[in-house]
Structure 1
């Protein structure tokens, strides 16, 4: 986008110097910096979080908040931090993406390196699922591990192996869907996306607090290990860094609870991913469209969470 963003024009004190009340604002990026941008525009404007009669967190607006349209490349916030500790045996060390197994020269990460990393991630995930939750599978680790090791990640044979071994779809690892949960989904209107997002946040919070899904914790640990193992090598890749932050280094659950409360109060509106942002006629007006819903919305300011966080660091 060629337009100058609000972050380039404002001091980082969004509480007093940011967009005025009621102004439609696009907030790009739902990564680690999101809460630091939302807080001064909501609680910093006099709003507050409380609990209703059922004990659920709600947001009580002050009337001083802008309307915050949220979007990002993936269209969803980072997964909540896992709220429990590992209880079973740790997965074996990486074997498929071990240094000696990686290409010796320059390689295309997604074609040549990622399949090896993904196979290690699956190895860690299914090791935990099978050994810690044997009642949810139709195999033993002793039978599964050699059959899994013999096949390429993503191949028809390994998919068939997993279907036979893991009867519940919710227990199977789908890295593509985890990476892009909105891929291929299109709603008839933005309201449909809001309902989907509320369900997505609720399901994520429930799963991240439930140790019966401890395979997710094994996956997170394996992702961090893979990312750190490749750091500083020719095979390090920014996409893997981003995936690790998204799946394994997310915010405390409380931040996502509050995000859901802001959405329920109408302060936050989700726009999904793959956003197109174009200047529109009048000065400082942009039209924003997305792949998950028809039409477009007009905003009068654009905030990039990464820019804001960087500028806040400069002023400390």
Structure 2
């Protein structure tokens, strides 16, 4: 990636001082302060501040009242809980260093001009003291360091432009309208605001009926049950040495659990001499490891990412799901059906990519995603052998990069997913098809194939499986509690004579992103008071309550229960009603209608909020350089 000298120099000196802002524009305050409350100071709250700065830096001097920004979050401002720099350095991102950014960089700046603080994570790495290999997988704490730096720099630059910025380490527990403003409650204090930006991120959630029943049974029998949670919120120390721990989920949270209770306790992954892919490591136990017994519906972990460079390797080209094909479909209809009109094109792209990279025979992507359907095993040991071989084969395919037709076909599927995200956000797929098809079966399939960990984690898991530290349950596992013995139990109908018992169980997954399950007193209050409502999708004559808030088009304002909208803006995960698969970060240099849409959302909200500075009496307007 080409570096911008001014930006790189700015990052280099960030540890000792804020970089002077360009120009010397002061904001004029001749009426009461105009207050923007930003609720949530993680990546999206930080992106909003950066986009606010970009607009402020392009405003003519003397056109606005005094502006104040109050930023609320009990977690560290910038990284939030998920990216806290103080977390274990063992936790890795599942995207390469070249991907994530919280500010426009590269070609994204053609649509969203940079602020004086706009740099991507990769541009921050070298001056920040981190490895700047674009294809490496950084730690989450390193990305959190970048976010903390960006938040601090943006705040300093806003202050340098005359904007008062106050950071409040507290949770907003209530929000209500009061005359023409909003009243927020946090840590026993009340705060007025003219506009509110909700950038809430991951929220703790009430358990669904099945897990709630397990949790209740666990309490009755003095067992330890850990529900879905952000990994930084989980106390893995409760799992004692040698104790059985039942694990539900073999996705990204599983790999965090796996590494924390092994290498995190002193175990060593020893590099083998001249290793074949999949057999790179031998694990030397420290004696403090618990015994993990893990399962998932597929029976397999998420597949490892290929080592082929790029978020989507340059060799991947969609030849069927093309703009021309989509335009043709949309000439006779406003919305498309995913299963009948889009999936056939995606499937052809996957199969043709597989063939073009040397694949032989028909390639059934759905069977590849569920490799153990309709299979059975006579014993647990037979299944463990199957899984160990699966891990080694998957590692070998990932290490082969473009030499693996299967992994390149998965990358074509991943590229298609990015196009589907655009279509969903642009309302080009019928809502009932999004619910039934995109979220119903396409999302879990593509997540397991294309959203997995870096190759290193699969290599480590293979070593742990060979060492007996990790065992696998089998496809479609069933979890319960044996009331007679007072233990958790689990088994798979596909694996004979293999029932496991444990006093610990963990759901290795994030809390569900569903506002009706959120424990947040703020979200509960918004719903109860009619200031917010969940989106509702009609499908097959039935109304389905969706995950996210009901919102307007971009900039996304919260729709009240009566259908009206005020000045409460929504960013991020709670936009699931209008955006499918909201990403953990924007793509550096990405398309603002696609992989960098999170930045476009933040920019649109910042521009709209600043228009509120124009009082009715003064009829003032922003005078931005760009539209």
- Return the TM-score normalized by structure 2: 0.39
Question: 2:246 aligned with 1:26, yes or no?
Answer: yes
Which structure 2 residues correspond to residues 108-187 of structure 1 after superposition, within 5 A? 110=339, 113-126=342-355, 128-129=356-357, 133=358, 168-169=360-361, 172-187=362-377
Contact 1:73 1:274 in 2 (8 A): yes
Higher relative contact order (CA 8 A, sep 6+): 1
RMSD: 3.3
Which residue number in structure 2 is paired with residue 300 of structure 1? Answer: 503
More off after superposition, 173-182 vs 94-103: 94-103
Contact 2:366 2:445 in 1 (8 A): no
Question: 2:292 aligned with 1:68, yes or no?
Answer: yes
1:284 Cα offset (Å): 5.3
Which structure 2 residues correspond to residues 259-278 of structure 1 after superposition, within 5 A? 259-278=461-480
Deviations 1:56-92 (CA, angstroms, capped at 9, x unpaired): 4111222222110010111111111111245757342
Distance 2:391 2:419 in 1: 31
1:297 Cα offset (Å): 1.4
* Residue in structure 1 matching 2:418, options 228, 232, 239: 228
Distance 2:494 2:340 in 1: 28
1:200 Cα offset (Å): 0.8
Distance 1:24 1:266 in 2: 12
Contact 2:244 2:293 in 1 (8 A): yes
Which residue number in structure 1 is paired with residue 307 of structure 2? Answer: 83
1:219 Cα offset (Å): 2.0
Which residue number in structure 2 is paired with residue 7 of structure 1? Answer: 226
* Residue in structure 2 matching 1:242, options 436, 444, 447: 444
Q: Which runs of 5+ in 2 are unaligned?
A: 1-209, 216-223, 514-519, 521-627
Distance 1:226 1:196 in 2: 31
* Residue in structure 1 matching 2:326, options 98, 113, 116: 98
Which residue number in structure 2 is paired with residue 202 of structure 1? Answer: 392
1:229 Cα offset (Å): 2.2
Distance 1:275 1:287 in 2: 10
* Residue in structure 2 matching 1:44, options 249, 255, 264: 264
Distance 1:9 1:92 in 2: 39
Distance 1:243 1:183 in 2: 14
Give the secondary-structure state (helix, strand or coil) at the position aligned to 2:509.
Answer: helix
Greater helix content:
1
Deviations 1:113-134 (CA, angstroms, capped at 9, x unpaired): 53443233223333x23xxx4x
Question: 2:285 aligned with 1:285, yes or no?
Answer: no
Contact 1:25 1:69 in 2 (8 A): yes
Contact 2:308 2:402 in 1 (8 A): no
- Return the TM-score normalized by structure 1: 0.73
Count how many residue pairs are aligned between Structure 1 and Structure 2.
271
1:305 Cα offset (Å): 1.2
Which residue number in structure 2 is paired with residue 158 of structure 1? Answer: none
More off after superposition, 245-254 vs 265-274: 245-254
1:213 Cα offset (Å): 3.5
1:33 Cα offset (Å): 1.8
- Change in Cα spacing, 1:252 to 1:211, as seen in structure 2 (3 Å) is closer
Deviations 1:154-181 (CA, angstroms, capped at 9, x unpaired): xxxxxxxxxxxx7x44xx4121321111
Which residue number in structure 2 is paired with residue 58 of structure 1? Answer: 282
